[in-house]
Amino acid sequence: MASALPITPTDPDPSFAELLAGRPHLSMHALDGLMVEGVPLHRVAALAGTPTWVTSAGALRRRARALKAALAAAGLQAGIHYAVKANTGLAVLRVLAAEGLGADVVSEGELRAARAAGIPAAAIVFSGVGKTERELRLALAEDIAQINVESAEEVEMLSALATTLGRVARVALRVNPDVDAKTHAKITTGRSENKFGVAIDDAPALYARMAALPGLEPVGVATHIGSQITSGMAAYRAAYVRLAELVQALRLAGLPVKHVDCGGGLGIPYRDEPAPSPEALAGAIKATLGGLGLPVMLEPGRWIAGPPGLLLASVVLQKQGAARRFLVLDAAMNDLVRPAMYEAWHGILPVSPVDFVAPVGPADVVGPVCETGDTFARGRAMPSLSPGALVAFLDAGAYGAAMSSTYNMRPLAAEVLVDGDRFAVVRERQSYAALLGDQRLPDWLTE
């Protein structure tokens, strides 16, 4: 709940200049104001209006390359499958595809998006605890690289389906390593009570079953222990040690294991919290799984797509309440839900060079939606802003646009890609015709 956000944070918030310093694709220009790469955000607003999602192609590329370099420097043979759910934009997928990244998808829609963006089927992994028969049929028809199976029931279903279709599904078994979340409260998918994967103790028997069944080719084991992991490498190491033990047990039983899928979850600093580096993750993988001599796979979402994206919004008005000052924006929780949903902190920068250096005082930054939870920040140090002033929510590229809704009948925001000094609208703002167009009134109400 946004009302639980601290009014006065324990540590002072980072200053605007400090927020800029850690984000090399952003800069403040004395005349043009806040820029993404070579593009002033006021030009983006003039073209596309607000609210608009803005993604830096350069930052996407830089992060993909940094991750590849860290894995290579650790001596790992690694394939990166970007977790599409973090940002499903076709332009984002296209940039990452050109960097040689594959895709980790969790639905038919994501599989279609990855293919539409030019990611080859041979570079696509399908994850998820409840893939439907229709989704599995499509995955088999496309002959994607790998399906990560998550239950004995799914193994049987997929074997039958593949046999019927005359296909062989390459399958990896997702295991739940039951890593201790007590000291890592945000690790929520790798505990035994979570719905994901099969218990690691059940994995050897199920893997043997996969090898025996027709229509399946077991190729490895997989895990994914959670998201926004910033607590260091302890949880990763604990999970990967268990995975390495499992692989050794499978090998002893004469079962083939071709690679290990290490999942995603690498966290990013939204405020100024310490966050692990790709080098740390590569080191943890090398130390725990390196001895197996197998290629590994990674499924990062947030780490790749989060920092390159921002949400550009306009001030509707500044309202002086009885006790507090409110900055009311034209963006709302239906666009960026993370503050309302996770009490997430996002940096908010004024775009105008004058506003950027103006005196600041505490303000609640809110949207117009009819929910108290539609609060982006409380007591944030912000200048006085006039109607129409632009602000940018930082690090909004992952789980931003992808989680947005049309609540309050608000159209989905436009999306813009910036690449050097070029930019283009890559998703039109949803029209009211589209927003209303799927609805039908039954005859008996209109007679």
Judged by the rule CB under 6 A, the positions of this chain that interact with ligand PLP are 83, 85-86, 104, 106, 127, 224, 227, 263-266, 299-303, 398
Residues constituting the chain: 447
Tokens for 423, please give them.
């930019």
| Beta strand pairing call for 390-393 and 348-350 | antiparallel
CA proximity to 358, closest of 49, 50, 27, 33: 33
Do the annotations mark residue 399 as ligand-binding?
Answer: yes
Question: Is 370 tagged catalytic?
Answer: yes
Question: Which residues are within 8 A (CB) of 239 and not within 5 positions of it... i.e. 6 or more apart?
Answer: 177, 179, 190, 223, 225
Task: Compute how many other C-beta atoms are within 10 angstroms of the C-beta atom of residue 25.
Answer: 19
CB of 86 to ligand PLP, least distance (A): 5
CB of 13 to ligand PLP, least distance (A): 24
Query: Nearer to ligand PLP by C-beta: 264 or 307?
Result: 264
**Position 80: which residue type?**
I
| Beta strand pairing call for 33-36 and 26-29 | antiparallel
Query: Nearer to ligand PLP by C-beta: 68 or 85?
Result: 85
Do the annotations mark residue 371 as ligand-binding?
Answer: yes
Q: Torsions phi, psi of 418, nearest 5?
A: -105, 135
Give the Cα separation of 160 and 231 in Å (integer): 42
Do the annotations mark residue 302 as ligand-binding?
Answer: yes
Do the annotations mark residue 270 as ligand-binding?
Answer: no
Choosing from 31, 370, 436, 441, which is the catalytic residue?
370
Do the annotations mark residue 82 as ligand-binding?
Answer: no
CB of 338 to ligand PLP, least distance (A): 12
Query: Nearer to ligand PLP by C-beta: 45 or 268?
Result: 268
Query: Nearer to ligand PLP by C-beta: 264 or 379?
Result: 264
CB of 264 to ligand PLP, least distance (A): 3
Do the annotations mark residue 193 as ligand-binding?
Answer: no
CA proximity to 291, closest of 342, 261, 247, 334: 247
CB of 418 to ligand PLP, least distance (A): 22
Tokens for 108, please give them.
């038919």
**Position 283: which residue type?**
G
Query: Nearer to ligand PLP by C-beta: 86 or 296?
Result: 86
Tell me the catalytic residues: 370
Binding-site residue numbers are 265, 299-302, 338, 342, 371, 399
Residues of the binding site for pyridoxal 5'-phosphate: 265, 299-302, 399
